[in-house]
Amino acid sequence: MTSRKDFSGLERPPGFVFHERRKGVLRRGAGFVLHCDEIPMPKLAERFGTPLYVYSATAIRKRIEAFEKAFRDFPHTICYSVKANSNVSILRLLADQRCGFDVVSGGELERVLVADRRAAKRVVFSGVGKSRDEMTAALKAGILLFNIESESELWALAECSTQLRTAARVALRVNPDVKADTHPYISTGLHEHKFGVPIRNARELYAKASGARYLKVAGVSVHIGSQITDAAPFAEAVARVADLVRDLRGDGHQIDYIDAGGGLGIDYAEPAESFADYLSQYARAVTNPLRGLDVHLLLEPGRSIVGPAGALLTSVIYRKENDGKRFLVVDAAMNDLIRPALYGAYHEIVPVIQNKETAAGDAAGDSASKKEPVDVVGPVCESGDFFARDRKLPRVEEGGLLAILDAGAYGMALSSNYNTRPRPAEVLVKGKSVKVIRHRERVRDLYSVEL
C-alpha cells in the first residue's frame, strides 16, 4: 500500500492516512482507504461496530516527542491536561513517556494514579473548586504542586496540610488580564473570568501563604484559555508572570516553578504543514521572557497532543432530502461529540473509502463538481444534533463510513448518555495492533444504578 498525497489536506499524519487499495486483476473497486496507523478503518468498524472512537498511539508519541524537542533547551516538564482525554490507557501511554499530568478534580487524580502511581510526583492540581477531600487525597498521593485560585482555597489547603502534617507546595494562579482570540467559553485570562487571582493582588496573597506552617510557596501559575493558535498572547502573559517572579523573589520568596498552563490550539480545518515549526514559535514565546530566571517550566498541553490523534468513526444510517436540502443521518450524535453543537466547532469529515475519480478531482482542483452539499446529523432529538452543515462531501450511500477527524480531545471526555444512548467503544491502535481501551456501553448499564 502506498500513501496517496492527493488527500494531504484531509489526512492527519502520522495517525490517519489514506492508502491505495486494489481489488482483482482488473482492479475493479480500486480506490483509497483511510487507515489508523497500519489498520484500515473499515476493518475496525467491522470488528468493533460504530460509532467508535479510534486513537493512534503513534500520533500521541510523536506529539510528545515534538514538545520535548521544542523545549529541550529549557528545564521543563510536560504535564498533560487530563481533561482533554482521560482514558486510563492513554494516560498510561503518556506516563510511559515520562509525562506529568495536570488534573482538575479528584477523579482525574485517581485516574492518573491507576495509570501509574509513580506519576503522582509529576502532578499539578488546578481548578477553582477543589474540595477538602480532593486536597487531602492529593496530599496523601504526594503531588508536585497545587495551583491555588483564591484566598479561601489557600486557607482550606493550609487546614488540610496541617491536619496531615504534610507540606503542600503551592503556586498562585494569577490572572494576567490578557485577551486571547478563542471561543468565550474557553477563554480564561481576563478579569471577568472565574479563574485565578488578579495579578495585582498576588504579592499580598503570597505573603499570607508564606506564614502558613505547612504551605511551601514554590511557583507561579498562569493559564489564559484553550484553542489559542497565536503565540503573542502566551508571550504577553508569561512576560507579566516573569515580572511578578522578580518581585516575589525581592520579597524573599523562593520561586522554583512557573506553570505556563496549556491552551495551544490546533487548526481543525487546515493543519499546519509542520507541527514542529508551529511548536517552535510557541516555545520561543513562552521561554524568551523567562531567560535568566532559573526556573523549571511546567506546561499543560492537552488538545495539541491528543486532538489530531483521534477520530470518531460513524456509519450513515439514512440519506434524506427535504425540499432539496440533503442530510446524511449517521449513528453518532451530539452525545458522542458535542463540540459542534456546543461551540459551533468545525471538524473535517471524510468518507473512509474514496474512489479514484474523487481523488483525481481533488488533485486537479475541480473536486467541487464531484461533491454534494449535505448536513451530517445524528439521531438525537435536537436540531443542534449536527456535525456539519452544508458541507461538500463526495456522495456516500447508506451503510457507508465517515470519519470525523481531530476528535481525540474533548470528544469522549465531554460525551453523555443523552436520549439514553450508550457511549461508544474506544480503541487504541499501535502499528498493526489494536486494543479496546473502553468497551461499548449497554443500555442496561445506564439504568442499573437507578434501581
Q: Which residues are catalytic?
A: 381
| Beta-bridge partners for 297 | 76, 258
CA distance 252 to 266: 40
Task: Give which of 343, 351, 334, 349 is closest to 388, Cα–Cα.
Answer: 349
| Beta-bridge partners for 79 | 100
CB 164 within 8 A of CB 192: no
Q: Which amino acid is at 406?
A: D
DSSP state of 346: -
Whole-angstrom CA distances from 288 to 195, 212, 244, 280, 297 are 25, 33, 15, 12, 12
Tell me if residue 347 falls in helix, strand or coil.
coil
Tell me if residue 395 falls in helix, strand or coil.
coil
CB 147 within 8 A of CB 188: no
Q: Which amino acid is at 296?
A: H
CA distance 182 to 402: 28
Cα angle at 123 between 142 and 301, to 5 degrees? Answer: 175
- At 78, list the grid cell: 510536560
Whole-angstrom CA distances from 132 to 106, 152, 158, 161, 241 are 10, 11, 10, 10, 28
CA distance 398 to 395: 10
CB 306 within 8 A of CB 85: yes
Which residues, other chains included, contact 178 with Cβ-Cβ below 8 Å and sequence gap of 6+? 189, 190, 224, 233, 236, 237, 240
CB 92 within 8 A of CB 117: no
Q: Which amino acid is at 321?
A: E
DSSP state of 267: -
Cα angle at 177 between 298 and 267, to 5 degrees? Answer: 60
Tell me if residue 412 falls in helix, strand or coil.
helix
| Beta-bridge partners for 433 | 430
SS3 percent helix, strand, coil of the chain, rounded to 5, is 35, 25, 35
| Beta-bridge partners for 329 | 318, 377
